[in-house]
Amino acid sequence: MRLSLDGDISDGVLGPRALWKPATPAIHRQGYGRWLTFLIGQEAMTNKDEAPWERVTHEPVEANLAERSGRDMSSWTIWF
């Protein structure tokens, strides 16, 4: 299933984003952009053909959270 599938209740298809508010996709793109920027900065994204879910392992997630926690950010920004 594509995560970006919007869906519509009138056509009988409800994708994961069907009930999102209009601003939500942009918030998710920004968060993913911060994640990719972190990986690139850590030189952890050496295999650009790697599937997105394969990039999410314990070590880089922990390092990313530690780096973000050291900044003056709201807890919502850190965890999202």
Q: Looking at the domain assignment, is residue 75 inside a domain?
A: yes
How many Cα atoms occupy the beta-carbon half-sphere of 24 within 13 Å? 9
Q: Looking at the domain assignment, is residue 33 inside a domain?
A: yes
Q: How far apart are alpha carbons 31 and 59 in whole angstroms? A: 18
Q: Work out the number of other CB atoms within 10 angstroms of the CB of residue 21.
A: 7
Pick the residue with more confidence: 80 or 30? 30
Q: Looking at the domain assignment, is residue 15 inside a domain?
A: no
Q: Looking at the domain assignment, is residue 17 inside a domain?
A: no
Q: Looking at the domain assignment, is residue 37 inside a domain?
A: yes
How many structural domains is the chain composed of?
1
Query: Would you say residue 1 has pLDDT above 60?
Result: no
pLDDT for the residue 69:
79
Q: How far apart are alpha carbons 35 and 41 in whole angstroms? A: 10
Residue-number span of the structural domain to which 43 is assigned: 23-79
Q: Indicate the pairing of strand 13-14 with strand 7-8.
A: antiparallel
Instruction: Answer yes or no: are the C-beta atoms of 27 and 80 closer than 8 Å.
Output: yes
pTM for the whole structure: 0.65
- Express each pLDDT in 8-50 by its tens digit: 566 666 677 777 888 888 888 888 898 889 999 988 888 878 8
